[in-house]
Amino acid sequence: MIKRSLAGRIGRLAGDSRPERVLIAASFVNRVGNGLFNAASALYFTLVVGLPAVQVGAALTIAGVIGLCAGIPGGHLADRRGARTIMMLALVVQAVSMASLVLVESWTALTIIATVDQIAAAVGGAAWGALVVRVGGDRPARFRAKLRTFVNLGVVLGTVGAGLALAAGTRGAYVTLILGNAASFALYAVLLLLLPRYPVLAAPPQQRRWLAFTDRPFLAFTALYGAMGLQYPVVSLLLPIWISEHTEAPRWTVAALFAVNSLFCVLMQTRIGSRIETLHDGGRAFRNAGLLFLVSCPMMALAAYTPVWAAAGLVLTAIFVHSLGEVWESSACFALGFGLAPDHAQGQYQGVLGLGFSAGQALAPAILTTVVLGLGTKGWLLLAVFFAALGAAGPSLARWGTRTRPQPGVAAEATG
């Protein structure tokens, strides 16, 4: 009786329906694999394969730029041919390309294989967005929050496993991480077979093929989303450099901030995200995120002017506030990104949104390391105001999006 009760609680935590549990489990497995690979990929190509770091960076940059172009047509294909089918094909390609990395011995081979992988990743990402909408059912916000919780947990566990392999430092350990990631893509594809075959939703007659490019509120949100995405490398890139070069905080603070950030997001995502369902909710959550970043960034800057233990405490407090902002921001982007898109074109819209986010992430390192670090404390304050200004636009954008969405009666008539 107790065992059945415990199993029931775990099942409800993982999802409210069988399709939800399947997609959460599949995503979790894949993110464990991603965590294994991401933490060790650069070291493998430089230390084991022997490629110069500059060549590795160039290969990955070329692959990333080319991959950006595949998300939108891939998402459109998912809308017209079925999100599950397209995503499974993309996952199979990623499994093969990832496994092929263990054979890389030259820059050319790395560039070609990484490009194929990034194209498949962009197509799969857009199809994943469309599939999430279909699986989410009547409580999409709650499902997306749970999904992100388990995705974050998977990355954390994968990173821990990568740390153990990195400690060994052998070629076999690195190869195991790469093949483990390849296996996670293959298992992901197999698990998707357990999902039902969702029928393709017909587009209304006379509608433009590339609808997302004419949707001004959505394009405006895509720009805001890409810009607000700078908050992610604040934790992974900017703050570690700031701690090591400008503060007296002990170096273990860098590891601690990653742990606090990941753990807090895992614990709070469902609690906060499940309540953010409508466009109106998303707009307010976006504003809340900006205000929290307005508080966290100056706290990070002030750590440079405090004694050693005070600096460590200030940084950890700042990352706690920043993580809360991250949860609000991701929940807002779920509500707005999916809520502004029509159901029959979710893949196309998620492809556009992914392009905007990826472009922001590509520009982030240059912006954060030159502007913010270059200006020092003033740069942190400027970044804080920038995030707050972006967040302040959330409610107005939500109202604009609501006014320009087809009313239920009109939509029914169009599809009738």
Give tens-digit pLDDT for 313-332.
Answer: 898 899 999 999 999 999 99
12 exposure class (CB count in 10 Å sphere: 0-12, 13-18, 19+): exposed
Give a yes or no: residue 287 inside a domain: yes
**Residue range of the domain that includes 43:** 2-192
Distance CA 229, CA 337 (A): 14
Do 225 and 80 share a structural domain?
no
Residue 188 near residue 125 (C-beta atoms within 8 A): no
Give a yes or no: residue 199 inside a domain: no
**Span 51-84, pLDDT tens digits:** 887 888 888 888 888 888 888 888 888 888 888 9
Distance CA 328, CA 394 (A): 12
Do 165 and 230 share a structural domain?
no
Percentages (nearest 5) of helix, strand, coil residues in the chain: 85, 0, 15
Using the structure block, give the residue that is written with the tokens 């004694």: 307
Distance CA 312, CA 300 (A): 10
**Span 151-179, pLDDT tens digits:** 888 887 887 777 777 777 778 888 888 89
Confidence grade of residue 415 (pLDDT, cut at 50, 70, 90): very low
Which helix (H) or strand (E) element contains residue 5?
helix 2-14
What's the CATH number where 77 sits?
A: 1.20.1250.20
Do 51 and 186 share a structural domain?
yes
Q: What is the mean pLDDT of residues 360-377?
A: 86
**Span 21-44, pLDDT tens digits:** 999 999 999 988 888 887 677 778
Angle of CA points 174, 235, 146, to nearest 5°: 80
175 exposure class (CB count in 10 Å sphere: 0-12, 13-18, 19+): middle
Tokens of 178: 């790469």
Give a yes or no: residue 142 inside a domain: yes
Tokens of 310: 């005070």
Mean model confidence pLDDT for the chain:
85
Distance CA 413, CA 416 (A): 5
Do 134 and 15 share a structural domain?
yes
Q: How many helices (H) and strands (E) does the chain have?
A: 20, 0
Do 233 and 93 share a structural domain?
no
Predicted structure pTM score: 0.80
Tokens of 389: 């200004």
Give a yes or no: residue 166 inside a domain: yes
Do 353 and 315 share a structural domain?
yes
Tokens of 250: 């002990």
Do 255 and 156 share a structural domain?
no
Q: How many domains does the chain have?
A: 2
pLDDT number for residue 369:
84
Q: Is 274 helix (H, G, I), strand (E, B) or coil?
A: coil
Do 288 and 142 share a structural domain?
no
pLDDT number for residue 336:
93
Give a yes or no: residue 200 inside a domain: no
CA 373 to chain centre: 25
The most distant pair of C-alpha atoms in the chain lies apart, rounded to whole Å, by 68
Do 224 and 164 share a structural domain?
no
Share of the chain above pLDDT 90, in %: 36
Angle at which helices 394-404 and 279-302 cross, to 10°: 160
Confidence grade of residue 410 (pLDDT, cut at 50, 70, 90): very low
pLDDT number for residue 15:
59
Do 215 and 184 share a structural domain?
no
Do 136 and 57 share a structural domain?
yes
Give a yes or no: residue 198 inside a domain: no
pLDDT number for residue 13:
55
pLDDT number for residue 16:
66
Residue 404 has pLDDT above 60, yes or no: yes
Confidence grade of residue 382 (pLDDT, cut at 50, 70, 90): very high
pLDDT number for residue 12:
52
Look at residues 192, 220, 242 and tell me which one is the last residue of a structural domain. Answer: 192
Look at residues 159, 192, 225 and tell me which one is the last residue of a structural domain. Answer: 192
pLDDT number for residue 84:
92
Confidence grade of residue 100 (pLDDT, cut at 50, 70, 90): very high
Do 226 and 182 share a structural domain?
no
**DSSP string across 299-334:** HHHHGGGS-HHHHHHHHHHHHHHHHHHHHHHHHHHH
Look at residues 192, 220, 254 and tell me which one is the last residue of a structural domain. Answer: 192
Confidence grade of residue 89 (pLDDT, cut at 50, 70, 90): very high
Q: Is 106 helix (H, G, I), strand (E, B) or coil?
A: coil
Confidence grade of residue 262 (pLDDT, cut at 50, 70, 90): confident
Give a yes or no: residue 205 inside a domain: no
Give a yes or no: residue 392 inside a domain: yes
Q: For the ranges 80-89, 152-161, 282-291, 305-314, which has the lowest average pLDDT?
A: 152-161
Share of the chain above pLDDT 70, in %: 91
Radius of gyration of the chain (CA): 22
Residue 414 has pLDDT above 70, yes or no: no
